[in-house]
Structure 1
Amino acid sequence: MSDWSTGLCGCFEDFGICILTWFLPCVQSAYNKSKADGRDCHCCDGCCYGIVSEYFTRTQIKAKYGIAQDPCNDCCTVFWCMHCATCQHGRQLKDSA
């Protein structure tokens, strides 16, 4: 099992992802979901932004990159630190591309 390429609180490690997540989190989430799925981004991807969609995107990214699954921790992470998790997802997908 591997680990995340950056930590949860490493938002400023990629300033572009940080700014996009801060001002338009639904857009960054849509990019993350489409990259995790290996497809083009659709406008409806951003309409589903929320705790549940971020949780499933997080588990999908973890499975794709061999990161240990921890459902309780993942649920708490997206519930209390959703913007940080969205940034972390974006950095992981960008670093692993």
Structure 2
Amino acid sequence: MTSKMIVTQPQPMMEARDSEEWGSGICDCFEDIPQCCFAFWCCPCFACITSRDYGEPLCLPMLDIFGGTIPPITMSMRVSMRQRYGIRGSMCMDCLFSTFCTACTWCQMSREIKRRKIAIVMVSAKNT
């Protein structure tokens, strides 16, 4: 009688952090005070960094200058983030927050990116 030994390597796993809500409210600046101070004192720089962290071009938020009344990039990023992460909401609310609370909107999106960022470590092994 022969026995067969099966060895399996650890597989990468992702922890699911699904939620239909934002991880923080639009005015939850006390969750990360230095970040919010940066956003309020230099919103264009903060928006560019957040855009890069989200995987979009670094200077994309600078196009908001040409947008007129409603900042199109801020609103588009917020809608995109809601779609990517499955967060409930409406374009109407995205439009209101983007127009009247731009710095708070960027802070909220930055906090959401940090909250949902999941590191995956890949382990490779060689057969000998």
Instruction: Please give the alpha-carbon distance, in whole angstroms, between the structure 2 residues aligned to 1:78 and 1:46.
Output: 12
8 Å contact 1:18–1:87 — kept in the other structure? yes
- Quick check: which has more Rg, 1 or 2? 2
Aligned equivalent of 1:52: 72
State how many pairs are aligned.
94
Find 1:24's aligned residue among 39, 42, 56. Answer: 42
> What is the TM-score normalised by the length of structure 1?
0.83
Instruction: Please give the alpha-carbon distance, in whole angstroms, between the structure 1 residues aligned to 2:61 and 2:43.
Output: 8
In structure 1, give the amino acid aligned to 2:29.
Answer: C
SS in 1 for 2:86: coil
Where does structure 1 lack aligned partners over 5 or more consecutive residues?
A: none
TM superposition shift of 1:49 = 4.2
CA distance 1:21–1:86, change in 2 (3 Å): same
8 Å contact 1:62–1:69 — kept in the other structure? yes
* Deviations 1:7-62, CA, capped at 9 Å, x for gaps: 0110121112101101111111112222222x6x63x3352345211001101111
> What is the TM-score normalised by the length of structure 2?
0.65
The CA RMSD measured in Å over matched residues stands at 1.8
8 Å contact 1:32–1:57 — kept in the other structure? no
8 Å contact 1:20–1:28 — kept in the other structure? yes
Kindly report structure 1 stretches of 4+ aligned residues shifted beyond 4 Å.
Answer: none
CA distance 1:94–1:87, change in 2 (3 Å): same
